[in-house]
Amino acid sequence: MTTDLASEPILQREHVPVAGRDLLRVENLSIAIKTHKFELNVVKNASFRVPAGKTVALVGESGSGKSIIAQAIMGILPGAARITSGSILFRDPAMDQLEFDHAAERPDGIYMQSMRGSRISMIFQEPMTSLSPIHKVGDQIEEALTLHHKVSRKEARQTTIEMLGRVGFPDPARAYDMYSMELSGGLRQRAMIAMALICRPALLIADEPTTALDVTVQAQVLGLLKRAQQFLNMSMLLITHDLGVVANMADEVVVIYHGNILESGDVRTIFKEPGHPYTRALMAAVPDLATPCDERLKALREVDHVVPDMLYARERPKGDGPLLSVSHVSKTYKVRESSWLSSSSKPFLALDDVSLKVRRGECLGIVGESGCGKSTLSKLIMRALTADNGDITFHGAKGDIDVMTAKGEALKTYRRCAQFVFQDPFGSLTPRATILNLLMEPLEIHGIGTAQSRRKMAGDLVRMVGLDETVLNRYPHSFSGGQRQRISIARSLALAPELLICDEPVSALDVSVQAQILNLLNALRREIGLTMLFISHNLAVVRYIADRIAVMRKGRIVEIADRDSLFANPIHPYTQALLNAVPNTDPDSPLDFSVPDMEIQDVEMLWEEKYRCWSMPSPDTRLREVSDRHWVLSNA
């Protein structure tokens, strides 16, 4: 970042904010959403400010009203929502001493149109859908510029390429002509940031900017935002539920719950001496890398659970060998590449010679970034996919089952022994079935009990996950995400399985609900001796729940060890990078943003030679035991 941008004509116009004046002041704002049955007050009398050049974090759970406040500032409220009172005062430094009230301006008026995307811009959570797939990345970014400024084509292109370089594209001139599907998630988010910054906005609203990104990419994007802010002298309104991100980015914090602002203050004050019980509960609920693993998390909403007798009484496998052994499993996907002349398929290796054993009663955690093959592995174990080669054997109470070839009765028996909890609690429950039907279904399929005993069992199951029996007649759409995930867990335990596979069970949930689900899973595991395979991208969560952890990268297990050994002494450079990228909730120990911020194509080149198993494959590549039960993938 050595280029002197001051020589650029567009980016030259610098507007120094007036001292002693906040850039944005939201005063007593109330917003109501009207559905056809009722009107809900989603924001109640909210007041906060964004000072010039500073970052303010708006922290809250989903449904707290934080995103709707951002929409109100941008003038893009959905049709059903309206501002019932209050004002949103924006003092654009480019407009001298003027002040505009965005709550009173017409959302489609000239003022708001010229303001949106130019003086205030916004970046969204989902980089995959925010860019148009049919236009070049450069053209989309340039459009934001040409909409608001009179510039020549050449000048516009120049500025766009400049901006692409600034947000970390290694070859900006080439990136200009690429399409969004050619970019990774991290690069797409960078392109979005470039689009938001191209007009040098006075205020950037970042709505969960890194929630959909992997931890290592998240750290880079956060570093980028921080540098861009200093360089452009802009203010930032950061909307997030991730306290680690807040601690690393914000100057001031505003805590919002159910439309009410409960606490606000300097970031240090909020994290060191949180005043409101909600803020304190929120902070205590989120596990981080220092949370003691044998204590219950302090969930915001505790769940009492009663484990039904039949789960205690279920058959348990004898002996002490592994419950599940996976050996040398590989899986390739065919990626169709078709042009209008020919179509060819090139294989994509999703899993490459993976072996692991799950011991009876343990919880094995699998961590890795998106695309590392962890979900593929779980689907193979569940026989939702078939592996190309290798063996998966389940050593259950009813004898060994060869998972890859099981058919008919054997497969049905296996389904009874191994169950699955999905990531998305909204998609995994049939919307047209009542909770009673959903919970009785596994019992009906496997012909367990009579209609009466199944009904009783369904009642026991909902009580087990802390819900009341009255919920049995309701439909899934009437529950919150956390409640649905509890129902999913209840359903997966209906058959009293020996193995439970949880694929990112808390990633789609609010941080405040995570603790509740983790506590529940942990308690159930202890009480009924469940064996669990827990897949997650969140290191803190895996560390809290798993006894043993396997780290995966690009289809391979790079390191597998007992939890304490792995976190105390991570050996593989990839594991180390993952651990270093986790943002800490302590504002005094910030992330190291000085790491190279380019999306480095080949990060392996920074590693010691024996760990470069992808760029320099060797026949000797295998897991090697470096200390007691601590295995690391290396070439030598």
Partner 1 sequence: MKSPLPADGEKIGHFVSAAPFDPLSIETLNTEQKDYYLASQKRLMWWKFKLHKVAVGCAIFLGIMYVSVLFSEFLAPYNLNNRHIRHIYQPPQSVHLFHEGEFIGPFVYDTTYGLDMETLKREYPEDRSHIYKLKFFCEGDSYQFWGLFEANRHLFCVDKPGTVFLLGTDRLGRDMLSRIIYGTRISLTIGLIGVAISFVLGLVIGGLAGYYGGWVDLVVQRIIEVLQSIPSIPLWLAIAAIIPVNWSPVLVYFAISIVLALLDWTGLARAVRSKLLSLREEDYVLAAELQGASPQRIIGRHLIPGFMSHLIASATLTIPNMILGETALSFLGLGLRPPVTSWGVLLNEAQNINVVVIYPWLIIPVIPVVLVILAFNFMGDGLRDAADPYS
Interface of this chain with partner 1, residues 245 to 284, rule: CB under 8 A? 252, 254, 257-258, 260-266, 269-270, 273, 275-278, 281
- The residues in 488-517 that bind partner 1, with binding defined as CB under 8 A, are 488, 491, 495
For residues 358 and 322, the answer to whether their CB atoms sit within 8 Å is yes
Task: By CB under 8 A, name the one of 6, 13, 36, 292 that touches partner 1.
Answer: 36
111/475 with CB nearer partner 1? 475
For residues 414 and 497, the answer to whether their CB atoms sit within 8 Å is no
For residues 30 and 84, the answer to whether their CB atoms sit within 8 Å is yes
**1 lines the binding site for partner 1 (CB under 8 A):** no
Helix (H) or strand (E) holding 256: strand 252-257
For residues 288 and 242, the answer to whether their CB atoms sit within 8 Å is no
- The residues in 287-326 that bind partner 1, with binding defined as CB under 8 A, are 300-301
Question: Which residues lie below 8 Å from residue 493, measured CB to CB, with a gap of 6+?
Answer: 311, 419, 461, 464, 500, 524
Give the interface segment with partner 1, choosing from 181-189, 362-370, 474-482, 605-613 (CB under 8 A).
474-482
**55 lines the binding site for partner 1 (CB under 8 A):** no
3-state secondary structure of 494: coil
- The residues in 366-385 that bind partner 1, with binding defined as CB under 8 A, are 382, 384
- The residues in 155-194 that bind partner 1, with binding defined as CB under 8 A, are none
Query: At its nearest, how many Å lie between partner 1 and the CB of residue 292?
Result: 23
**53 lines the binding site for partner 1 (CB under 8 A):** no
For residues 265 and 253, the answer to whether their CB atoms sit within 8 Å is yes
Task: By CB under 8 A, name the one of 431, 594, 619, 628 that touches partner 1.
Answer: 431
Question: Which residues lie below 8 Å from residue 481, measured CB to CB, with a gap of 6+?
Answer: 62, 425, 426, 508, 509, 510, 513
Angle between helices 511-528 and 481-493 (to 10 degrees): 20
Task: By CB under 8 A, name the one of 419, 531, 585, 621 that touches partner 1.
Answer: 419
Give the interface segment with partner 1, choosing from 106-114, 137-145, 420-428, 576-584 (CB under 8 A).
420-428
Query: At its nearest, how many Å lie between partner 1 and the CB of residue 30?
Result: 14
Dist CA 632 CA 369 (whole Å) = 18
Tell me which DSSP letter residue 130 carries.
H
3-state secondary structure of 367: strand
> What is the x/- site pattern for partner 1, positions 324-363, by CB under 8 A?
----------------------------------------
Task: By CB under 8 A, name the one of 6, 16, 19, 636 that touches partner 1.
Answer: 19
For residues 350 and 385, the answer to whether their CB atoms sit within 8 Å is no
Task: By CB under 8 A, name the one of 151, 283, 303, 411 that touches partner 1.
Answer: 411
* Identity of the residue numbered 469: E
**195 lines the binding site for partner 1 (CB under 8 A):** no
**427 lines the binding site for partner 1 (CB under 8 A):** yes
**101 lines the binding site for partner 1 (CB under 8 A):** no
Residue 423 structure tokens: 């990531």
CA dihedral 66, 71, 73, 74 (to 10 degrees): 150
Question: Which residues lie below 8 Å from residue 539, measured CB to CB, with a gap of 6+?
Answer: 215, 289, 367, 578, 579, 582
Give the interface segment with partner 1, choosing from 287-295, 347-355, 422-430, 455-463 (CB under 8 A).
422-430
**616 lines the binding site for partner 1 (CB under 8 A):** no
40/603 with CB nearer partner 1? 40
